[in-house]
Amino acid sequence: MNKENLKKISALLVHVAKVDEIYTDKERGIIKNFIISFSYNEEDCETILQDSEKLEADSIQLFNFTSAIKKESLEVKTEIIEHLWKIIISDKSVDQYESSLMRRICGLIYFPDKLSGEIKLKILNQ
């Protein structure tokens, strides 16, 4: 995955992490692990994450982030959805707004709701 798309997708992860208005080190670590999974080293990872945090802060709509995901394979989309759920569940609480946001994201990237629900349950059971 190229860096620009990775920044947009990471900005979406940051956005979801900030939805509850608490952006924790644990959530930041989950996002860093996501970036590193695409073969970027620690230094590049930190730069990409900082750029993504700025991109998220400067944006007012999800479409800027989700448009980069639509073209990805189901495998990559699944990895993104897994990380989104890990971020949401990291505080041991899933509120209605977070669930609604995940449904919106799934719709925007053409990801099956049923599969998203299965991923959520898998993470809850870990």
Q: Could you report the per-residue pLDDT of 82-123, keeping only the tens digit for each?
A: 999 999 999 888 888 899 999 999 999 999 999 999 999 999
Q: Is 17 exposed, middle or buried (0-12, 13-18, 19+ CB in 10 A)?
A: buried
End-to-end Cα spacing for the chain: 28
pTM: 0.91
Domain boundaries 3-124, corresponding CATH code: 1.10.3680.10
